[in-house]
Each structure stands twice: as structure tokens, then as C-alpha cells.
Amino acid sequence: MALPEFQLLRPRTLAEAVELLAKHASDAQIVAGGTDLLPSLRQRLFAPQYLVDIRGVGELRGIRPRQGGLEIGALTTLTAIERSPEIALSYPVLREAAQTVASPVLRNMGTLGGNICLDTRCLWYNQSLAWRRSCGFCIKKDGDLCHVAPGGTKCWAAFSGDTPPALLCLDAEIEIAGPSGARRLPLSEFYTSLGDARMTLERNELLTRVLLPARTAGYRGVYRKLRIRGSIDYPLAGVAVALQRSDGHVADARVAITAVNPAPLLVRAAAEALKGREVTEELAAQVGELAARAAKPLTTSALTPEYRREMVRVLSKRAVTEVFRQ
């Protein structure tokens, strides 16, 4: 499958990138690592007139200390996050999530910003144009029917990024640049829970930085995912857990899930169940049940919804037990 025709634009500064996006907003796509976008272009899921290649914008790359926390540029590669001593020491759940993404070659190319902005996925959507035409188009692309939930009007394509649930556990904020300047918002407010319009990012804006606060530095954390193959594959269910211990009890906790909803999701009920308590087999099982209830998988992947929901329960129970014993 050949790429569609497009004009490649290569800004060297953030200001130039914003200017190009403002000028070509309706006909442009941003490309960074390209590990997700380029296959989608070949499948004709997108056919932009312009590709804005932001890899030359050096100010969007790097890991820097900031007010007791960390600032991570959106172009920072997943490999750099995996190998960062600062992240491994202070934000281990993010390192764990980053090192599970795809394969080493793809992590060398893929960026944190790209993983945050990853397109939602579905068996009916991520196919060639010929396949989609033969089966009928869907709400997410060129049609008005959801093949996963035929009676509804909502797109249920699943978000499958690995790092966002870890970032949600860390109370991360993001910075977005556009023609009106920069704006900052919690990552938890970035996603819409709509498969076909997954994030609150305008066509003339781009993600620039991820900000990790000092208050979650030092939280113990793990990330566990379900996938068919042990490398390369997207998660079919993923669970991130981060917590702080005090006197043998959980002082604070976060539990987040991915790949089973149109957006990554904090399971607040699970976090509340953990606070102030010692993690026992029974409590870990309760957390698993609460996480499974928050999961709404449909037939968007190769595994059944029932199995993916059950694995959210299992992975959550295991992750909570493991991180508490660290």
C-alpha cells in the first residue's frame, strides 16, 4: 500500500510549527516518530495535503527537572524515557509503561507525545481502504454505522496507548501550543471518551510538554498489559498502579486502565478502596473487581470483550499486590 501524495513541511522552531499548523490546519497532519501515522496513511485512513514534520524542533525534546518534578518534551523518545535514571527513580510506573511499548526499534522512533495522542483502534477501522469499502464504512471513517455497537451513534474504537494510564497515575499535566499561545491542562481532561474524536486538541495545536509534579515523585508503581505477542503488539488491556506507603499502609494510590475504553481511565473507586489500608488478598481482589467494572471493552480487537474484562480484573489484582510488596 503506497503512501498518498502530500507536501512535507519541516519547521525548525515551535513558533514556525504553530504558524504552519495555523496556515494549513484543515489539510495538515503532524508527524513525529511516525510509527502510528504512516501505516494509517498507507491504509488511507488519512490523506492530508500537508505533513508537518516536527522532529527538527529541538525545544520539544528532553527530560528536565522542574520545581521538584520533571518536564518531558513531547518529542522525547520512549527509549529515552525507558533509560532515564530520573524517571526510573522518581516515576517508575512511567518507565515500566514505556518499556512495554511495541519493540526496541519502534521505541527508538516513537515519542511520548505520539503515544499520548495515539489514534483509537478497531478491527473495523484499522484496515485497508479495499477492506473497509467491501465491509461498509463506519462512524470513525466515512460512514454512519458502528459495526461494534450497531444500534448506537457513538464510536467505540479503543484507545491503546501504554504511557497515558501511567501518566494519569502520576497526576501529569500537559502543555499545548497554538496560535493563541500556550495552555496547560491535566491529562485527565485531555481525552473525550469518544472513539472518533478522542482528544481536546484543535487542528492548529500541538502537544509540547508533559509535566510531572513533585507530589507523586517517589510513588512505587507497576504497569501490566495483555497482548497476543510479547513484543510489538498494542495492549488489549492494560493496568497501571502507583501508590505511596506509610507505616505498612497505603497513604495514597492511583489505578488506571487502558485499551478497554475509548480513553484511558482513572479508576477512582479502586484508589479510594486502597487508601489507609494494608493490601491483602481480599483487598487486591476488590480492586480488581472495581477496575473490571470500569472497563467497557467491545469487539474492537482480536480477543473477546469478556476475556479482556476478566484480564483487567486479574492484572489489577496482581499489580496492586506487587507494587505494595516492593
pTM for this prediction: 0.97
Q: In this structure, what DSSP letter does residue 149 have?
A: S
Q: What is the CATH number of the domain that holds 79?
A: 3.30.465.10
Nearest one of 285, 294, 293 to 314, comparing CA atoms? 285
Q: Do both 222 and 237 map to the same domain?
A: yes
Distance CA 288, CA 270 (A): 8
User: Among positive and negative, which fits the CA dihedral 9, 12, 17, 20?
Assistant: negative
Domain count for the chain: 2
Whether 48 and 67 share a structural domain: no
Does a structural domain hold residue 147? no
* Within-domain flag for 149: no
Output the domain CATH number for residue 43. 3.30.43.10
* The pLDDT of residue 231: 82
Let me know: does 223 contact 99? Beta carbons within 8 Å. Answer: no
Based on the fold, state whether residues 25 and 169 are members of the same structural domain.
no
Dihedrals phi, psi of 272, to nearest 5 degrees: -65, -35
Query: How far does the chain reach from its first CA to its final CA, in angstroms?
Result: 47
Residues 6+ apart with CB under 8 A from 15: none
In a domain, 245, yes or no: yes
Domain boundary at 34, 57, 80, which? Answer: 57
169 and 283 both lie in a single domain: yes
Give yes or no: residues 270 and 171 share one domain: yes
Whether residue 225 lies inside any domain: the answer is: yes
Low-confidence ranges of the chain (pLDDT < 70): none
Q: What is the structure's pLDDT at 56?
A: 97
Tell me, yes or no, whether 15 and 89 share the same domain.
Answer: no
On whether residue 130 sits in a domain, the answer given is: no
Q: What is the pLDDT of residues 67-108, one digit of tens each?
A: 999 999 999 999 999 999 999 999 999 999 999 999 999 999
Residue-level pLDDT at 311: 98
What per-residue confidence (pLDDT) applies to 174? 98
* pLDDT at position 230: 86
Indicate if 68 and 90 belong to the same structural domain: yes
pLDDT of res. 1? 80
Where do the H-state alpha helices sit in the chain? Answer: 14-24, 37-42, 78-83, 85-90, 92-98, 104-109, 112-116, 129-135, 163-169, 268-274, 281-294, 305-324
Specify whether 1 is located in the same domain as 49.
yes
Domain enclosing residue 26, as ranges? 1-57
Contact status, residue 288 vs residue 316, Cβ threshold 8 Å: yes
Given this model, what pLDDT does residue 70 score? 98
